[in-house]
């Protein structure tokens, strides 16, 4: 809960113009100047009580403490700035109010707060010339006022509690930032969905209207006998393309509406949706071959995050196609092949399905095999590195397994997804 600072020493600043007071703090915390330790000390003379206290403190502050000292306010300000620049900020500052001949402790505290408003401050004084109201008015929050002489246990508990409070503040900041980012992202996605779904609906209407127009032309218009064959071929082609576009729009609408929700769909649905969302599979050049082998009953149903699965499979197919196309450009006469196999998992794992996608494309060198699923990784110059990351996210979501294997450069590759037919409805 330390906001990325786990096991890093917790820095405490002590500012006092009296060297004897500095040494007292060191003795209290059992620290040499700027040296981290794993426990807080105390002035207890009872050994058993001391060991118990050290064990408790160590459990609270696993990173240990580091004492930073300054004899004047100006020096303290410099050390706070330096610590901040090193990204090892001061968490708690014990500041003496009166430190002649330099600036007083309250002014130093104000300057420290300007540099880093997150510091917890304890104002320490033996005099009554600064009252609690004036200090709190000046520093606003995260400040305490202690009069000398103070109890060692009091200072120890302040240090412990303020260090923990500082860490908790950073944790809350991190959570708040993450939630803020997610809210913005969700708003953006909701807006995109609203716009895209509206456009898809208009596109679907237009596509259906074109298909209806073709049917109307076939029924209502006479064509010269010598033109009928060509006319029929043209209208059938247009009608077939309109139907394909209609299926594609329908699949896109389902993809956008389902988001990452768990849905029920059949093996047949899965194959049809993939084909309709990847029209390039129906128009591959002669030297590139794509085939699907399904060893499952077409009506067997899945209960999975629909969009996540569709995007995952589409990603591995596109990745394989890119690989064989790239190899074809390098090697004239090369025959590329991409093969998708859907089957039930072997042995007793009847509740699991295996999807294998193999290609004879460029392949991957062994050192890169562990990188392929990492966010942002891509072997293509203009690649985003999103594709296989989506695969990993789907597998994590359904508690499955994924394997990427390649014998090396120019040796092709295989991706194997192994996951359950069903997960709990979300």
Residue 175's contacts (CB-CB under 8 Å, 6 or more residues apart) are none
CA distance 151 to 185: 51
* Half-sphere exposure for 33 (CA within 13 Å, toward CB): 9
Give me 251's structure tokens. 């699949």
Q: Is residue 358 classed as helix, strand or coil in its secondary structure?
A: strand
3-state SS, residue 407: coil
DSSP class of residue 422 equals B
Q: What is the mean pLDDT of the chain?
A: 76
- What's the pLDDT at 49? 39
270 near 303, Cβ under 8 Å? no
Task: Report how far apart, in Å, the C-alpha atoms of 209 and of each of 182, 241, 276, 277 are.
Answer: 40, 13, 20, 21
Residue 84 CA to residue 88 CA, distance in Å, equals 6
Task: For domain 259-426, say whether CATH 3.40.50.620 is its number.
Answer: no
Q: What is the chain's percent helix, strand, coil content, to nearest 5?
A: 50, 20, 30
| Average pLDDT of the segment spanning 367-379 | 65
Backbone angles phi, psi at 327, to 5 degrees: -70, -35
Which residues lie closer than 8 Å to 394 by C-beta, 6 or more apart?
305, 308, 309, 311, 312, 400, 417, 419
Q: How far apart are CA 33 and CA 21, in angstroms?
A: 13
Domain chopping of the chain, boundaries: 10-176, 259-426
Check pLDDT > 60 for residue 376. no
Domains 10-176 and 259-426 share a fold: no
Top mean-pLDDT range of 10-19, 226-235, 241-250, 378-387: 10-19
pLDDT tens readout for residues 26-85: 887 765 444 443 333 332 233 333 344 443 333 344 457 788 899 998 999 999 999 999
Contacts 24+ apart (CB under 8 A), 214-219: 214/238, 214/239, 214/242, 215/239
Q: Which CATH code fits 10-176?
A: 3.40.50.2300
Helix (H) or strand (E) holding 391: helix 387-398
What's the residue count for the chain? 426
Mean pLDDT of 344-348: 70
Could you tell me if 73 and 102 are in contact, meaning their C-beta atoms sit under 8 angstroms apart?
A: yes
CB atoms within 10 A of CB 301: 15
Measured distance between the N- and C-terminal CA atoms of the chain, rounded to whole angstroms: 29
d(CA 95, CA 106): 8
State yes or no: pLDDT of 355 exceeds 90. yes
Q: Residue 224 has what pLDDT?
A: 80
- Mean pLDDT, residues 194-222 taken together: 67
Place of tokens 């309109």: 242
Distance of CA 54 to the CA centre of its chain: 38
């Amino acid at each position: 809960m330390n906001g990325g600072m786990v096991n890093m020493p917790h820095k405490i600043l002590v500012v006092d113009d009296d060297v004897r007071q500095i040494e007292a703090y060191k003795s209290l915390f059992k620290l040499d100047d700027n040296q981290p330790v794993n426990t807080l000390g105390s002035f207890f003379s009872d050994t058993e009580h001391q060991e118990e206290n050290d064990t408790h403190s160590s459990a609270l502050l696993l990173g240990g403490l580091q004492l930073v000292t300054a004899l004047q306010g100006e020096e303290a300000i410099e050390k706070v700035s330096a610590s901040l620049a090193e990204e090892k900020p001061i968490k708690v500052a014990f500041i003496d109010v009166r430190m002649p001949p330099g600036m007083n402790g309250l002014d130093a505290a104000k300057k420290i707060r300007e540099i880093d408003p997150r510091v917890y401050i304890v104002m320490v004084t033996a005099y009554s010339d600064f009252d609690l109201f004036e200090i709190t008015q000046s520093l606003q929050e995260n400040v305490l006022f202690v009069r000398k002489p103070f109890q060692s246990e009091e200072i120890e508990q302040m240090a412990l509690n303020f260090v923990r409070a500082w860490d908790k503040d950073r944790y809350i900041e991190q959570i708040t930032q993450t939630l803020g980012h997610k809210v913005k992202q969700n708003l953006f996605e909701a807006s995109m969905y609203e716009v895209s779904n509206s456009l898809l609906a208009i596109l679907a209407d237009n596509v259906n209207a074109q298909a209806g127009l073709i049917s109307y032309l076939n029924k209502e218009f006479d064509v010269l006998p010598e033109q009928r064959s060509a006319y029929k071929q043209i209208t059938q082609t247009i009608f077939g393309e309109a139907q394909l576009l209609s299926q594609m729009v329908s699949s896109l609408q389902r993809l956008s509406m389902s988001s990452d929700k768990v849905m029920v769909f059949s093996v047949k649905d899965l194959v049809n949706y993939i084909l309709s969302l990847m029209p390039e599979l129906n128009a591959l050049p002669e030297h590139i071959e794509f085939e699907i082998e399904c060893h499952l009953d077409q009506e067997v149903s899945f209960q999975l995050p629909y969009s996540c699965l569709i995007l995952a499979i589409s990603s591995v197919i596109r990745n394989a196609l890119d690989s064989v196309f790239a190899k074809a450009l390098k090697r004239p006469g090369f025959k590329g092949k991409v093969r998708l196999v859907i089957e039930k998992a072997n042995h007793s794992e009847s509740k699991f399905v295996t999807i294998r996608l193999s290609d004879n494309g460029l392949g991957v060198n062994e050192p890169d095999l562990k990188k392929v699923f990492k966010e942002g990784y891509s072997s293509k110059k203009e690649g985003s590195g999103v594709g296989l990351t989506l695969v990993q996210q789907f597998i994590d979501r359904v508690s499955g397994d994924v394997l990427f294997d390649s014998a090396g450069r120019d040796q092709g590759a295989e991706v194997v997804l192994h996951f359950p037919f069903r997960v709990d409805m979300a």
